[in-house]
Amino acid sequence: MARPHLLVRAAACALVACSSTSDTVRVEPTVIQVTVEGELGSPEAPLDFSGSTITRTISVQTLDKDGQPYPFDGDLTVRVRPGKLDQEAWISVQDGQWQGDVAFHAAFGPTRIWVGDEGDKDSQSGRTPSYATGVTEAIHYAFPTIRQMNEIDDHETNQLSGEFAELRVADRQVVVTEIATAGFWVTDLADEPGTWNSLYIYSFSKPTNIWQGARLTTLTGNTQEYLATTQLSFPVYIAEEEVTLEVPEAFPLTGKRTCDDNLMEGLESTLVSVQGASIPSDFVEGSEDWEDYLEYGQWPIELADGGCRIYGDSTTATDFHPTEHVGEEIGEVSGLLREIWGKWIITARGEGDIGGGGFEEDRQLDPNRRPTTPTTSIRHAPPRHKPGTEPLRPFQPSLPAATDLDGHAH
Amino acid sequence: MLPRQVDGDAPDLSGQDVRVTFLHTSDLHSRLLPYDFDPSFTDNGLGLADGLGSYGGMGRIGYILKRERAQAGRVLHLDSGDCFQGAIIFNEYLGEAEMRLFSEVGLDAAVIGNHEFDLGAQNLADQYSAWGTFDLLAANYDFESSDEPWATGLERMALPSAVYHLDGFKVGVIGMANISSLNSIYDQSNSLGVRVLEPADVLPREISKLESSGVDLVVVVSHMGLDDDQELARTIPGIDMFIGGHHHVAIDPPLVVVNEVTGQRVPVVHSGAFAKFVGRVDLVVRDGEILSFDYELFPIDATVPDDPHILDILEEYEEALEDSFNTQQVLGYACGETLDPELQCEKLTRYGETGGDSMLGNFAAEAMRAFPGIETEIALTNTLGIRADIPAGDITLDDIYNSMPFDNTIATMLLSGGEVQELLDYVAYRSTERGCQSQAQVAGITFDMVCDPDDPHAENIVINGVPLIEDSVYELATNNYIANGGSGFEVLERNTTKTFTDIEIRDVVIAEIIKYQTLPQPGVAVEDGRIHTVY
């Protein structure tokens, strides 16, 4: 049933350098050999991970079916796996040879530079490609830390976007700061607070075999920007047995910091707190914040020392009803910081995170709020829409794929 | 050392880098004809954009497969099963169209999915023998001997594995069929004629066999589900890649699992369901070791042209379906702008916003218990019996078949209060494993579904306004699938008071849509919190 696709009819080969067989011809090159100069590192002693451009020199030799040097003239493609190419993807080869630099960044783990025959850059050249592909020996780069993965100028992506992420945690102090219904948050204590060192891990169902304060020794998964918050989906994680680290104190946010998106981004998924928080008096029926609250449960916060408006999410603190405290100071608010397309939101972990838990008197249902189910899941609360884009549907499971977890016969 | 030529045409590739391409489909679920739906945020992230419907369709998949084959050297197309069930074309043609079209697009091999048995093992055998030209794989199924007069013949048709020769490169492909959902299959004959074998026994044997035959690569095409794929990739040495399905997840990029015995890094590829995506993985292999891989997921939307040959075949079926069923007949209207603002919606959803009850679930369950002649106190149906949302706009017969493809019928039975508690506890248990997304929809019942992984259970159960009484008796309407123990509903399976009505649930739902005309309406096809999720 298999088809020898490398063999094409002679007529199709009129413009192609081919080696002939009986009634078919072989498109050459059959093999591409690629070598790389310089240090390769090793799994035990890898080269540094780099979010900036790295340049490596490679040499290319094309071979024919018999393993002899093949005088190929044409374009070949270059890619880096895993990693991101920082140059044009085409190189021009003459007489079967090429030597030059390849620029890339964000390579991690065993990385190889690919050179393949996928046709000429000018798709009208008429040359039939062989799809032969060769790779360099593995260049071993270190797996990135949480900070190295997260730290990037563009807040709507991360260094490993599009990659299966294997994070460097075994020799770090990566602690579970909070567990929610569909995932958990971690912070790498080996880095200072505010240095992009926290991450949300989305596990779909409530995570098991993990506890608050657990130290992770393995953490892998797919990176995803969910409503502008970086998360790891389809995670594999292992906690060190019988080890519980102290969960760091909430990082105090100042008003000044709330106006600096870059500083705030560095705190994404970190446990934070604000002192002297109040609910602004313009949080009234008909306002956009009010509508968002009705839909998503998020409410505005003003800080005592000024700064920019941030938001609270108290779906896990069902005793607290913000509509009853408009214009009032509510004291300290703490929780996990996340971004939803430009809005910074503190997601409370429970009653104690709002006003020190002093809202017992609010225990009856907020009459202004549409009934929803309390949940610590972050999946319920996208804002109405990103400015300038189409409205979002109000609820989307934050699955990284079109998951039904289905197939259970019916 | 340079390679030498070994035979007439194939090169000796020892010591050289070889690129091998796998095209992948999975869980097609009969979506051979394009269909409308509202892509999720996740779909969007994977490249399936809003506003580019209709989506899916075998004509488009055929185009992508042909294009990608032309842009690859050594290439195989593997399918991870469940091509049957999910659209009206299956109800009418029983799998013929799926088998025929997969053959026409040049599929190399497919593993058997659990839904391939939906009309019985004999139907699978009949359709495959009539139309299938690809290899049908299932290493972990031991089929009844074909010598038995009642045997289906699948023993002769299904292979444990197959070897593909790709210009000097040999790929061994092992099929691993579904296990986790086989307990969900009940068959009219009370037997599928299948003995399921342990993966830990089967895989080493097949790997050894393939290695003895000199393959360069061992690939498992699986319908076991993502969890099992990951677990087997982690524990069984000698597998180079898993290409899986069953859970309807598209994962881009693929996962990488490190085998705990060999340290080998094993890609685990899943390309989703309902003809929304085609996956392509490119490997570079040297001396049997995957050195590196790359992946691309192609969304199937209206921007993808149809393959003309496939389209011709599809049109035969489409025209016949239209003649027989008038599939585009309008039954009602969903989510109109004239609705009360409180009722406005973008679609009729099969999942609830908070994981509990849903618009379509409530509608179906209420329709079941209220249907003349049924008229039970309570109803419960499995959420996954509803397979798709119904988009805003005209509700056509085609929409209904896409949403409710199963030919399930209503069954009634008497349950004690204690059994109702057990039933809902089981719902909580199954739901907790699935992100606290309720696995059942109900009528006449409200309850708290407590998704505590250590103690999932139902509490505060109220039946038509009255708290559940343990020693009281309640009459339940449900579907024949779970009444027979499908999806593990043992409390229903063991019940001895069952009556099977042969009234199709889809017909009941259609009647209700025609009755109401526009959905939702106050108290109809709305989420009302009857299943309250508690974490």
Of the partner residues A66, A372, A402, the one whose CB lies closest to the CB of residue B42: A402
Pairwise CA distance, residues B101 & B90, whole Å: 13
Query: Is the per-residue pLDDT at A3 higher than 90?
Result: no
Q: State pLDDT tens for residues A162-179.
A: 899 999 999 999 999 999
Close Cβ partners of B291 (under 8 Å, ≥ 6 residues apart): A112, A135, A138, B17, B284, B285
* Averaged pLDDT of chain A: 83
Residue A94 confidence (pLDDT): 97
Both tokens of B296, joined, read 């691309």
Residue B444 confidence (pLDDT): 97
Residue A44 confidence (pLDDT): 96
Shortest Cα–Cα distance, B376 to chain A (Å): 23
Of the partner residues B38, B433, B535, the one whose CB lies closest to the CB of residue A376: B535
Residue A370 confidence (pLDDT): 43
Shortest Cα–Cα distance, A276 to chain B (Å): 30
Burial of A162 (0-12, 13-18, 19+ CB in 10 A): middle
Residue A376 confidence (pLDDT): 35
Residue A358 confidence (pLDDT): 62
- How are strands ordered across the β-sheet holding B158-159? B158-159, B135-137, B109-111, B74-79, B17-25, B277-286, B289-299
Query: Is the per-residue pLDDT at A13 higher than 60?
Result: no
CATH of domain B328-534: 3.90.780.10
Give the number of C-alpha atoms closer than 13 A to the C-alpha of residue A241, restricted to the C-beta side.
Answer: 0
The vertex-B195 CA angle with B194 and B197, nearest 5°, equals 130
B96-104 vs B121-131: helix axis angle to the nearest 10?
Answer: 40
- Looking at chain A, the whole-number percentage of residues with pLDDT higher than 90 is 67
Ranking A355-359, A390-394, B134-138, B408-412 by mean pLDDT, the lowest is: A390-394
Q: Do residue A33 and residue B50 have CB atoms under 8 angstroms apart?
A: no
**B169 to chain A: nearest residue by CA?**
A4
- CA A248 to chain CA centroid, nearest Å: 23
Q: Which residue has the higher pLDDT, A19 or A43?
A: A43
- CA B225 to chain CA centroid, nearest Å: 10
DSSP state of B512: H
Q: Is B481 in the A-facing interface, judged by CB distances under 8 Å?
A: yes
Burial of A357 (0-12, 13-18, 19+ CB in 10 A): middle
Which residues in A lie closer than 8 A to residue B482 (C-beta atoms)?
410
* Mean pLDDT (10-residue bins), chain B, 535 residues: 46 95 98 93 92 96 98 97 96 97 98 93 95 98 85 92 96 95 58 86 98 97 96 97 96 95 96 98 97 97 98 97 93 84 87 92 97 96 93 94 94 97 96 90 97 92 97 96 90 95 95 94 94 90
The answer to whether A134 and A34 have CB atoms below 8 angstroms apart is: yes
Pairwise CA distance, residues A159 & A289, whole Å: 33
Both tokens of B238, joined, read 């000698």
Q: Do residue A114 and residue B292 have CB atoms under 8 angstroms apart?
A: yes
- CA B267 to chain CA centroid, nearest Å: 22
Shortest Cα–Cα distance, A364 to chain B (Å): 17
**ipTM of the complex in this document:** 0.84
Residue A371 confidence (pLDDT): 38
Close Cβ partners of A14 (under 8 Å, ≥ 6 residues apart): none
Residue A18 confidence (pLDDT): 40
Residues listed for chain A: 410
Of the partner residues B74, B274, B292, the one whose CB lies closest to the CB of residue A112: B292
Residue A161 confidence (pLDDT): 87
Pairwise CA distance, residues B371 & B502, whole Å: 13
- How are strands ordered across the β-sheet holding B265-270? B161-165, B170-176, B217-222, B241-244, B265-270, B255-258
Please list the helix, strand and coil fractions of chain B in percent, rounded to the nearest 5, in that order.
Answer: 30, 30, 40
Residue ranges matching CATH 3.90.780.10 in chain B: 328-534
Residue B186 confidence (pLDDT): 52
Tell the CATH superfamily of the B4-316 domain.
Metallo-dependent phosphatases (3.60.21.10)
The answer to whether B166 and A2 have CB atoms below 8 angstroms apart is: yes
Sign of the dihedral defined by the CA atoms of residues A230, A234, A240, A242, in that order: positive
* SS3 of residue A77 by DSSP: strand
Q: Is B40 in the A-facing interface, judged by CB distances under 8 Å?
A: yes
Residue A28 confidence (pLDDT): 95
Which DSSP helix (H) or strand (E) runs through B241? strand B241-244
Q: Is B460 in the A-facing interface, judged by CB distances under 8 Å?
A: no
Residue A401 confidence (pLDDT): 33
Residue B72 confidence (pLDDT): 96
Both tokens of A106, joined, read 């964000």
In the beta sheet, which residues pair with residue A272? Answer: A251, A335
When pLDDT is cut at 50, 70 and 90, the band that residue A359 belongs to is low
Q: Do residue A407 and residue B185 have CB atoms under 8 angstroms apart?
A: no
Pairwise CA distance, residues B173 & B166, whole Å: 13
The answer to whether B267 and B254 have CB atoms below 8 angstroms apart is: yes
Q: State pLDDT tens for residues A360-389.
A: 544 444 444 443 333 333 333 333 333 333
Residue ranges matching CATH 3.60.21.10 in chain B: 4-316
Q: Do residue B433 and residue A7 have CB atoms under 8 angstroms apart?
A: no
Size of interface A-B (CB pairs under 8 A): 252
Q: Is A138 in the B-facing interface, judged by CB distances under 8 Å?
A: yes
Query: Is the per-residue pLDDT at A405 higher than 80?
Result: no
Q: Taking a contact as any Cβ pair under 8 Å apart, which residues of chain B between 182 and 201 contact chain A? A: 184-185
